[in-house]
Structure 1
Amino acid sequence: MGSTLNYGSWWSYIFDRVDGLELTGEDHLTSEPVRSAPGDIRLTSMPDRRDWVRFAAAYQDPDSGITIGKQTTFPAATGAVSYSDLGREQTARDIANLRTALDAHGYSGGFLNSLSPGSGSRIVDDHYGDVDAFLDAWVDVMRPEYEAIAAAGFVVQIDDPSIAENWDQINPEPSVEDYVAFTAKRVDAINRAVANVPTELTRFHLCWGSWHGPHTTDIELRHIVGLLLDIDAQYYSFEAANVRHEHEWTVWEETVLPEDKVLVPGVVSHATNVVEHPELVAQRLERFARIVGPDRVIGSTDCGLGGRIHPDIAWAKLESLVEGARIASARL
Structure 2
Amino acid sequence: MKRSTERILTTHAGRLPSPDNIAEIMQARANGDQARFDRLMQAGVANLVRKQMELRNDIHSDGEFWKARDALYYNSRVTGVELRPLKPGEGASILVHQQERHMPEFREFYAIYDQLGNIPRPGVVNPPATHRAVITGPMRYKGQDAIKHELEVVKAGIAEAGGQVEDFFFPVLGPGWLGHFLFNEYYPTEEEYVYAMAMMFQGEYEAVVEAGFILQIDDPGLADKFGMFYPPITVEAFRKHAELRIEATNWALRNIPEDRIRYHTCWGSWHTPHTTDIPFKYIVDLLLKVKAQAYSVEAADVRHELDYLVWQDVKFPDGKIYIPGVIAHKTTTIEPPELVAHRIVRYANIMGRESVIAGTDCGYGNRVYPDIAWAKMRAMAEGAAMASRQLWPRSS
TM-score interval w.r.t. the shorter chain? 0.7 to 0.9
Instruction: Give SS of 1:252's match.
Output: helix
Paired residue type of 2:280: L
The alignment status of 1:105 with 2:105, answered yes or no, reads: no
Question: Out of 340, 348, 356, which is 1:281 matched to?
Answer: 340
Instruction: Give SS of 1:156's match.
Output: strand
Task: Give the gaps of 5 or more residues in structure 2.
Answer: 1-28, 33-65, 121-125, 392-396
The alignment status of 1:311 with 2:370, answered yes or no, reads: yes
Partner residue in 2 for 1:79: 137
**What CA deviation, in whole Å up to 9, does each residue of 1:182-217 have, x standing for no partner?**
211111011101001110011110111111100100
Question: Out of 71, 80, 93, which is 2:149 matched to?
Answer: 93
Partner residue in 1 for 2:330: 271
Q: Distance in 2 between matches of 1:106 and 1:4?
A: 29
The alignment status of 1:116 with 2:165, answered yes or no, reads: no
Question: Out of 7, 10, 22, which is 2:82 matched to?
Answer: 22
Partner residue in 1 for 2:97: 48
**What CA deviation, in whole Å up to 9, does each residue of 1:153-206 have, x standing for no partner?**
211110111111121112232222222122111110111010011100111101
Q: Distance in 1 between matches of 2:257 and 2:189?
A: 31
Mapping for residues 159-170 of structure 1, pairs under 5 Å: 159-170=218-229
**What CA deviation, in whole Å up to 9, does each residue of 1:62-82 have, x standing for no partner?**
499862896834311121112
Instruction: Give SS of 2:269's match.
Output: coil
Partner residue in 1 for 2:24: none
Q: Distance in 2 between matches of 1:303 and 1:11?
A: 17
Mapping for residues 178-197 of structure 1, pairs under 5 Å: 178-197=237-256
Partner residue in 2 for 1:260: 319
Instruction: Give SS of 2:348's match.
Output: helix
**What CA deviation, in whole Å up to 9, does each residue of 1:253-290 have, x standing for no partner?**
11111102110111111101111111111111111011
Q: Distance in 2 between matches of 1:315 and 1:5?
A: 31
CA contact (8 A) 2:293 2:321 kept: yes
Instruction: Give SS of 1:265's match.
Output: strand
Q: Distance in 1 between matches of 2:189 and 2:114?
A: 40
Q: Distance in 1 between matches of 2:349 and 2:75?
A: 42
The alignment status of 1:247 with 2:298, answered yes or no, reads: no
Instruction: Give SS of 2:326's match.
Output: strand
Partner residue in 1 for 2:18: none
**What CA deviation, in whole Å up to 9, does each residue of 1:284-304 have, x standing for no partner?**
111101100111111111001
Greater share of strand = 1
Task: Give the gaps of 5 or more residues in structure 1.
Answer: 33-43
Higher Rg? 2
Q: Structure 1 residues 167, 289: closer, same or farther in 2, change over 3 A?
A: same
What do you get for the CA RMSD once the two structures are aligned? 2.5
- For CA contacts below 8 A with separation 6 or more, give which structure has more relative contact order: 2
The alignment status of 1:323 with 2:382, answered yes or no, reads: yes
Count of aligned residue pairs for this structure pair: 316
Paired residue type of 2:325: G
Instruction: Give SS of 2:138's match.
Output: strand
Post-superposition offset of 1:56: 2.3
Moved more, 267-276 or 17-26: 17-26
Post-superposition offset of 1:94: 3.2
Q: Distance in 1 between matches of 2:114 and 2:284?
A: 35
Q: Distance in 2 between matches of 1:190 and 1:307?
A: 27
Paired residue type of 1:47: V
Partner residue in 1 for 2:280: 221
Instruction: Give SS of 1:96's match.
Output: helix
**What CA deviation, in whole Å up to 9, does each residue of 1:290-327 have, x standing for no partner?**
10011111111100111111111111111111111111
Q: Distance in 1 between matches of 2:362 and 2:76?
A: 23
Moved more, 63-72 or 202-211: 63-72
State percent identity of aligned pairs: 36
**What CA deviation, in whole Å up to 9, does each residue of 1:38-87 have, x standing for no partner?**
xxxxxx95333212222222111149986289683431112111222xx2
Q: Distance in 1 between matches of 2:271 and 2:89?
A: 20
Post-superposition offset of 1:237: 0.5
Question: Out of 249, 260, 263, which is 1:201 matched to?
Answer: 260
Normalised by the size of structure 2, how large is the TM-score?
A: 0.74
Moved more, 305-314 or 57-66: 57-66
Q: Distance in 1 between matches of 2:310 and 2:228?
A: 24
Paired residue type of 1:209: G
